[in-house]
Structure 1
């Protein structure tokens, strides 16, 4: 049996104010074509289907088109909810779409009720564990101590293992959590509360394969426990990380080969560093003119109108950071002490030096300053 492990679609997320729906639609369509060309039997989505608990109407359209395409390509689809999802909204009509071979698992009590798919070697039981917030589910299991994500997922996995022991056969677990030893990028929501989000991978002992979501970059915690990452780049901290999913094969004896399948990157992410004039004129940067660009400008003084000027060359420049390569040491004297008994020109120059970490006015600024002060002085004499 061939299983494609994906996660963290985050339908509806913006990228620095830009919609990503068009790009995500392109990537999901490529996923559909991959499922068709590789004869994939099952596609799992390990949580964070939507980016918001209240998705906009057009976001449902993207999800509907993707699920329809995957089913048309011949795959059974298993979807679980993540911490960004509303279980009620994502799970609406789940009972009915199940009749079409699309299994949407959002309720806490569904974790030990597998979706069973058969092949020539027998059944494969796919256990979907929706995101389980301890504070929201502990009331349903009063006899269990569910104060942390580790305790909650250990409790769920104990029940999964008990159910699997009774059923027999091969198994896959789908879960959305933050496993120990993986560094989160800056777009994963901070759900830390006393370390509650960390889950040791030993909690997932037993199944043939564990498909994890929540981390936006691919990662293999072990041969059988993996993150697929998100299908799009949602932060410049993810630049350079591949986008795709794991193609997992289950043989008659359990886990077989696991292969990474790349998905297209509609627009690359690039971080450019240098002085503004170099970024605007150097021919070496021409290959990045159609990329999403984050510019780190190293001029000693923050350039005026830097973003507008960058976007004239890099139309998709989305972020600008001023990080001077060299700064003068600020003087210890206070501003009041430094302006005492000084001329107007010296006062303004000193002010600029004070607020710009020791960098005084440029020659152009000095000439403008001299003209303005001369006009002011002439006006005072005329009065």
Structure 2
């Protein structure tokens, strides 16, 4: 029986309210390597968002490579690019670390047809079995934009385009398929309709989604993009989001973080086992009085702490008092006294950061914009957020029409 370790969404370089999380990343990445050494998988799959930004700094690049080299010493390791990753960097990394350099480390930068690296094959169980992996990095909606369109890209266009790409990879997986030997896997950085987002994940995911029914039917689908670990419901084979190994912010504070261990054999249903991760500082939210915080101070030791203090007059030097009560906590966000600027709080659940489209919508409402105009403006804003995750800006229909007109000028008859 072959074994695969699935991890995802490391977001190296991420900070929390400006506070570095380097120690947390070092701890949880070391834990992931220890899990891999314990379970001895035949293959390791990272389903995207290795980095938090496409603009890398050297310390994050080094942290990623050191960890991935350690993992690739245990088993071949495949990393697909997520929407936060730079395809250009991934292409360069694959050139210097790939099989041609003697390393079992594969970076998949963009969608590739099956015969051009979209389907990878690995020996498993001492050669008795093979794992065939279809790898699909994040596919930006721009890929399916048509210059003949006057309305721009629609979610339906995206769903149809993704359906075609996934079917193409499935066809490649099945070419030469040996049902007595082969285990088929699929990995993608994609939002699948019906998946549950963490409270802090922005709603832009839902603008362009794929149906669970369109996922290639394989022994296991290793998914990335959503930070909350979960199984995708409504399909007859296991498809899991491994989730982020650390809570990215307070909207994920209660998520149970994990990697996924997958045992699979030809012709049999895969056995999926999440392995919980426990490293990194806990994110904690405290609502209450200063006296209540003193009584509970021990449980907030060593956490990232967001506190709403009640029973104090506005203007009290609360940050200093809270810091004295929990000196080993890292205080994040504003520490509000009772009655302070309640109307400025945009999120419904205390301790959660507002999603950017929701924050922008609230701002437009405060400025007096009508709901109809505000919604169209928020939609355009959401499109820009989506675009910022990709190196190629989306063409605007008006600009494209102007370009076509200028390239095909006519001369008035004399």
Q: Same fold (TM over 0.5)?
A: yes
The total of aligned residue pairs comes to 319
Task: Give the 3 Å change call, closer, same or farther, for CA 9–126 of structure 1 in structure 2.
Answer: same
- More strand per residue: 1 or 2? 1
Are 1:219 and 2:230 counterparts? yes
Equivalent residue for 1:107?
A: 110
> Within the alignment, does 1:160 sit opposite 2:169 as a pair?
yes
Question: 1:271 Cα deviation (Å)?
Answer: 1.1
Q: Alpha-carbon deviation of 1:190?
A: 4.5
Which residue does 2:18 correspond to in 1? 17
TM superposition shift of 1:150: 2.1
Distance 1:105 1:186, change over 3 A: same
Q: Runs of 5+ in structure 1 lacking a partner?
A: 328-383
Distance of 1:47 and 1:110 partners within structure 2: 18
Q: Quick check: 2:219–2:238 contact (8 Å CA) kept in 1?
A: yes
Q: Is the 8 A contact 1:47 1:79 kept in 2?
A: yes
Give the drift of 1:321.
Answer: 4.9
Matching of residues 87-106 of structure 1 within 5 Å: 87-99=87-99, 100-106=103-109
**Deviation (angstroms), 1:300:** 6.2
RMSD of aligned Cα (Å): 2.6
**Aligned residue among 183, 191, 194 for 2:196:** 183
Mapping 1:215-294, distance limit 5 Å: 215-222=226-233, 224-279=238-293, 281-282=294-295, 284-294=296-306
Is residue 110–residue 129 contact of structure 1 (8 Å, CA) maintained in 2? no
Distance change >3 Å, CA 107–CA 326, structure 1 → 2: closer
Q: In the superposition, relative to structure 1, how do residues 205 and 68 fare at CA in structure 2: closer, same or farther (>3 Å)?
A: closer
Report 1 or 2 for greater relative contact order, CA contacts < 8 Å, sequence distance ≥ 6: 2
Q: Which residue of 1 is the match for residue 209 of structure 2?
A: 198
The CA distance in 2 between the partners of 1:170 and 1:14, in whole Å, is: 38
Matches of 2:340 and 2:166, distance apart in 1? 54
Q: State the secondary structure of the residue aligned to 1:91.
A: helix
2:10 touches 2:245 (CA, 8 Å); kept in 1?
yes
**Distance change >3 Å, CA 325–CA 47, structure 1 → 2:** same
Q: Distance in 2 between matches of 1:107 and 1:287?
A: 45
**TM-score for both structures, normalised by structure 2:** 0.71
What is the match of residue 308 of structure 2?
296
- Whole-angstrom distance in 1 between the partners of 2:75 and 2:306: 38
Q: Indicate if the aligned counterparts of 1:243 and 1:265 stay in contact, CA closer than 8 A.
A: no
Is the 1:80–1:106 contact (alpha carbons within 8 Å) kept by the matching residues of 2? Answer: yes
Of 134, 137, 143, the match for 1:130: 137
SS in 1 for 2:165: helix
* Aligned residue number for residue 365 of structure 1: none
- The answer to whether the aligner puts 1:171 opposite 2:178 as a matched pair is no
**39-48 or 149-158, which deviates more:** 149-158
Q: What is the DSSP-based 3-state SS (H/G/I as helix, E as strand, rest coil) of the residue aligned with 1:248?
A: strand
Q: Does 1:7 align with 2:8?
A: yes
Task: Please state whether the residue corresponding to 2:270 is helix, strand or coil.
Answer: strand
- Give the Cα separation in 2 of the matches to 1:296 and 1:233: 20
Gaps of 5+ in 2: 342-414
Q: Retained in 2: the 8 A contact 1:188–1:214?
A: no
Q: d(CA) in 2 for partners of 1:28 and 1:110?
A: 31
State how far apart, in whole Å, the 1-side matches of 2:220 and 2:209 are.
20
Is the partner of 1:246 in helix, strand or coil? strand
Q: Alpha-carbon deviation of 1:278?
A: 3.0
Partner of 2:371: none
C-alpha spacing 1:61/1:103, structure 2 compared with 1 (3 Å): same
Q: How many Å separate the matches in 2 of 1:273 and 1:259?
A: 35
Kindly provide the CA deviation profile for residues 72-101 of structure 1, in whole angstroms up to 9, marking residues without a partner as x: 2x2110100111111111221313422111
1: CA distance, partners of 2:142 / 2:304? 39
Question: Which structure: larger Rg?
Answer: 1
Quick one: distance in 1 between partners of 2:325 and 2:340?
Answer: 26
Q: How many Å apart are 1:247 and its aligned residue?
A: 0.2
